Chains A and B, each alone.
Chain A
Amino acid sequence: DAGVTQSPTHLIKTRGQQVTLRCSPKSGHDTVSWYQQALGQGPQFIFQYYEEEERQRGNFPDRFSGHQFPNYSSELNVNALLLGDSALYLCASSREFYEQYFGPGTRLTVT
């Protein structure tokens, strides 16, 4: 049983560009959450998708958007990249009301 997978592993982008990160949830999970983890900090909640809709959102600007597909996989899009967007982006999946399982993350570097 494959766990949560994320792609790509690493990514380098330039300020002002746009980026798309992808996540495939663990088998049997229908909820996907995205987190941003800056160096030396705990993960910060970006948003959560359930039934292809954004169900909950953290304190992140509209430059951060997402999508969930019918097969429960998800994408995180970030527009107009800033240097401060450099971080490890983590995807977590869960079945509703159960614990969240995390993927290995995507390391985004903005230069």
Chain B
Amino acid sequence: SQELEQSPQSLIVQEGKNLTINCTSSKTLYGLYWYKQKYGEGLIFLMMLQKGGEEKSHEKITAKLDEKKQQSSLHITASQPSHAGIYLCGADGKGGGADGLTFGKGTHLIIQP
């Protein structure tokens, strides 16, 4: 079965600084999803990556998929308090979003003012 490992597990960043979260898969990545979660709440969809080398950006968040390394990274530029939360990467076995997702344990991001 596929396993996703996220690093770091937690991150404390001063407001305005940049940061990167990584997600490494034990198997080939066909579809990689990034979600954000506030404690005890539902997941907010951020981005979906499906092709090797694909890169997507939304506001100050950029995600990349390195298919060869079976890895994805999420980069936040000029962090703000609103970026605080738990970031989760998820993957499906076949790509296309039709399958149940396997998730990493999450990266807990704290933004210090």
Contact = CB atoms under 8 A, between A and B. Distances in A.
Interface of A: 4, 31, 33, 35, 40-48, 56, 58-59, 88, 90, 92, 94, 96-105, 107
A98 B1 CA distance: 22
A31 B48 CA distance: 18
B102 A45 contact: yes
Majority SS of interface residues in chain B? loop
A41 B106 CA distance: 7
Contacts of A45: 100-102
Interface of B: 1, 4, 33, 35, 40-45, 48, 88, 90, 96-106
Contact of A48 (B96, B99, B102, B106): B99
B100 A33 contact: yes
13 contacts: A35-B101, A40-B105, A42-B4, A42-B88, A45-B102, A47-B100, A56-B100, A59-B1, A90-B42, A90-B43, A94-B97, A99-B97, A100-B45
B54 to A, nearest CB: 14
A62 B42 CA distance: 25
Contacts of A35: 100-101
Nearest to B31: A99
Nearest to B104: A42
A102 B35 CA distance: 10
A92 B90 CA distance: 13
Contacts of B42: 4, 90, 102-105
A104 B39 CA distance: 11
B103 A44 contact: yes
A41 B97 contact: no
Residue among A42, A45, A56, A107 facing the most chain B CB atoms (10 A cut-off): A42
A99 B88 contact: no
Nearest to B88: A42
B99 to A, nearest CB: 6
Nearest to B89: A42
A68 to B, nearest CB: 14
A31 B98 contact: yes
Contacts of A44: 103
